[in-house]
Amino acid sequence: MRTTNHTQPGKTYRWSFFRAGGFDQVKFKTGHDLLNIDQLDQKLWVALACPVSGLHFDKKTLNLIDTDKDGRIRAPELIAAVKWAGSLLKDPDVLLKPTSALPLDAINDSTPEGALILKSARKVLTVLGKQDATAISVADTDDTARILAQTAFNGDGVIVEDSASDEATKAAIRDIIACLGPVTDCSGKPGVDQAKVDLFFAEAKSYVDWAQKALKNPTILPLGDATADADAAIKAVAPKVADYFARCRLAEFDPRASNALNRDEKEYAVIGAKDLTPEHQDIAALPLARIEPHRPLPLLDGVNPAWAGALANLHAKAVKPLLGDKPTLTLQDWNLLVSKLAEYNAWISSKPNTTVEKLGVGRLLELLASPVKDNLAALIARDKAEEQEVKAIAAVDKLVRYTRDLLPLCRNFINFADFYVSDEMAIFQAGRLYLDQRACDLTLPVEDAAKHATLAGLAGCYLAYCDCVRKGTGEKMQIVAAFTNGDSDNLMVGRNGVFYDRYGRDWDATITKIIENPISLRQAFWAPYKKFVRMIEAQIAKRAAAAEAASAQKLEAAAATAATPDKLKEAAPKKVDVGTVAAIGVAFGAIGTFFATLLAYITGLLKLGPLAVAGALIAVILVISGPSMILAYIKLRKRNLGPILDANGWAVNANARISVPLGAALTHMAKLPPGSHRELFDPYAEKKSPWPTIIILALVLYIVFSILNSKGKIYQWTDGWIGKQPQVEAVQKPAEQKP
């Protein structure tokens, strides 16, 4: 197969292929094979997409390749990853030697990107105390946060307290975090970025400008810092004061309303029947004081006990400082008192909604007057200047992972070498299931068994879905296992096994769903006989149950008859039923006829010779087992891995067949190890009856006797004592011609 190589115009690239699973698959022999995968016709790729999750593969590497972050890796993304990694290596054959450590001298520093990556790799090793190392590994680059934690500036535009060298700037960073919350730095530490700094100082200026209005206008705070307490005291009783003066004015309008406005005596009788405290809600619902026309509101004496404290607080914090030491308030006094705090309330309502208020006006004025804002901006700009170098650190981690993981991924994507020809499991195999004296290697994790089975059922495989649980940790998962060898006699929903995942952890596995398909030709051969035996067993069980029921019914009837006094007389003996005797005779006659006919057929067959007997037996076997084996053979040839993987989010592009030999390799049957010693004596084995052996032996002897007798051998060996004399054909002499 040749395809155009766009990197060398006018030339072609020669590919090598191997055949496995019934189709051709590309073979990667050199690093240039990998670098030219964009020239390989995608019709020859085994898969065109795979999921990021559910694979035994480094998740971080898969996420790096998945550039559009859709949870799937497609052919263009894999091609781009291989191209990028190959461009940064001096020798692309490094990609064919997957190791966890990348030699520094393998990085191509002849390009600006390669030179920057090499510089960053050396910096990482220096930060980790490995200045003399000649290679960098995934373990060195895996924890980027640990590396960046040891640097004050890491290019993410976030500065932490350690980024500042003076205490004033550090304190400002702490204040901003306390008010607005932190921005997490690449190192994992709390910090601030330019947006947080700008928002903080904008809120600080807004709050300070608002606070300074009160400082410039004394009428806003007539009582200074005590103004807020006076306003709170007024607002605490304002609704009840308005209620009191409204009632007094109504009493002034009509004196007859006074009694009703002061509540009826019956209501006091109801209240008096309760256990009361001064703050009781029924008392609090009464007016502040007794209602009379033109009566001012008392503040200290003769007031509702539930409101006595609030009125005393009003007198002390608002009335006395603003109006003088008045024991009562008229309606005009109340309106004047409220008006004295009107500017304060207007100022309060214009207060900006900020989070910096907790720092106080003094601290905010200090921060606004200092150069700390410019200092923070300078530190953030310095941090951003390191962005390219930090990105290069991430690129180092990416390159180290790609050199380790790209070939294994291609061997499970572009071809399925790990599945068909490698001793290792493919990345989509979840582990090994032990159940029914078998070990199943073709197991995959599934999220929804019912949804998965809809498509996976088209694979033509015998599939068992299992719920797996680790009771020690409470972990749960679902898998599907393909049984590709043996039979299905003992496979059923509810059977338990043990599943070992790719990390060697054991799980309790229980079959929850089965998709039945032929497993092997051996199973198909014996299936009709097993079905026939099961049918006979079912019929026997049915007849036995019916006979038992009839017997029980007769016993019950006999017991009922014996218990009846009128039937204690001795029953007369019954006469023999002639019809029954005749029926028995007919039955025995039919049985005899059957065996006589069968014997005649066997005798006639034996006359034809041993080859005819063998041919007849083979014909009978083919008639019985042939259709089942033919159907199984057709289905086994159609077993396909594709639907099983497609149901997990793959896009399998080939007819990935599971042949009979491959099926035997994927499901291992139990067998004794080589060199094992086996004792055949079983103390608990069922004792066998000798009659089946005797009958078979007698039948064989009869067949041999019939064959020999038909040829006259028995007659010759016994000198005519027994046996059939061979017939000699008479030789007819030619008639003599008369002269």
Provide the 3-class DSSP secondary structure of residue 438: strand
Inter-residue contact 136 to 119 (CB < 8 Å): no
Banded model confidence at residue 632, pLDDT cuts 50, 70, 90: low
State percent of the chain over pLDDT 90.
Answer: 40
| pLDDT tops 50 at residue 10 | no
Phi and psi at 490, nearest 5°, equal -110, 15
Residue 697 and residue 695: Cα distance in Å, rounded?
5
Q: Which residue type, as a one-letter code, is found at position 689?
A: S
Buried b (16+ CB within 10 A) or exposed e, 347-381: beeeeeebebbebebeebeebeeeebbebbeebbe
Residue 182 and residue 324: Cα distance in Å, rounded?
51
More confident residue, 668 or 597: 668
Banded model confidence at residue 70, pLDDT cuts 50, 70, 90: very high
pTM flag (> 0.75): no
What pLDDT score was predicted for residue 683?
Answer: 80
Inter-residue contact 262 to 290 (CB < 8 Å): yes
Residue 446 and residue 476: Cα distance in Å, rounded?
11
Number of Cβ within 10 Å of residue 152's Cβ equals 16
Cα separations (Å) of 677 from 303, 461, 672, 682, 685?
A: 108, 36, 9, 14, 19
Any idea what DSSP says for residue 346?
H
149: nearest Cα among 119, 173, 128, 131 = 128
Residue 61 and residue 74: Cα distance in Å, rounded?
14
Among the ranges given (100-114, 263-277, 343-357), the one the predictor scored with the smallest mean pLDDT: 263-277
More confident residue, 737 or 394: 394
Measured at the CA of 546, the angle between CA 541 and CA 549, to 5 degrees, comes to 125
Residue 596 and residue 602: Cα distance in Å, rounded?
10
Among the ranges given (120-129, 278-287, 351-360), the one the predictor scored with the smallest mean pLDDT: 278-287
| pLDDT tops 70 at residue 601 | no
| pLDDT tops 50 at residue 361 | yes
Inter-residue contact 479 to 466 (CB < 8 Å): yes
More confident residue, 337 or 566: 337
Q: E strands, 42-182, where?
A: 47-51, 72-74, 101-103, 135-137, 159-160
123: nearest Cα among 407, 388, 503 = 388
Residue 9 and residue 355: Cα distance in Å, rounded?
65
Any idea what DSSP says for residue 159?
E
Residue 712 and residue 89: Cα distance in Å, rounded?
90
Banded model confidence at residue 649, pLDDT cuts 50, 70, 90: very high
Cα separations (Å) of 641 from 25, 459, 637?
A: 15, 6, 12
| Contacts for 480 with CB less than 8 Å, ≥ 6 apart | 443, 444, 446, 449, 452, 453, 456, 463, 464, 465, 466, 644
The alpha carbon of 548 is separated from its chain's Cα centroid by a whole number of angstroms, namely 53
Average pLDDT of span 367-373: 91
Provide the 3-class DSSP secondary structure of residue 520: coil
Delimit the domains of the chain by residue range. Answer: 2-150+386-420, 159-217+357-384, 223-340, 431-517
- Condensed to tens digits (0 to 9), the pLDDT of residues 405-453 reads 999 999 999 999 999 988 889 999 999 999 999 999 999 999 999 999 9
Q: Which residue type, as a one-letter code, is found at position 621?
A: I
- SS3 per residue for 479-510: EEEEECCCCCCCCCCCCEEEEEECCCCEEEEE
What pLDDT score was predicted for residue 615?
Answer: 66
Which residues share a beta bridge with 101? 137
Residue 522 and residue 519: Cα distance in Å, rounded?
9
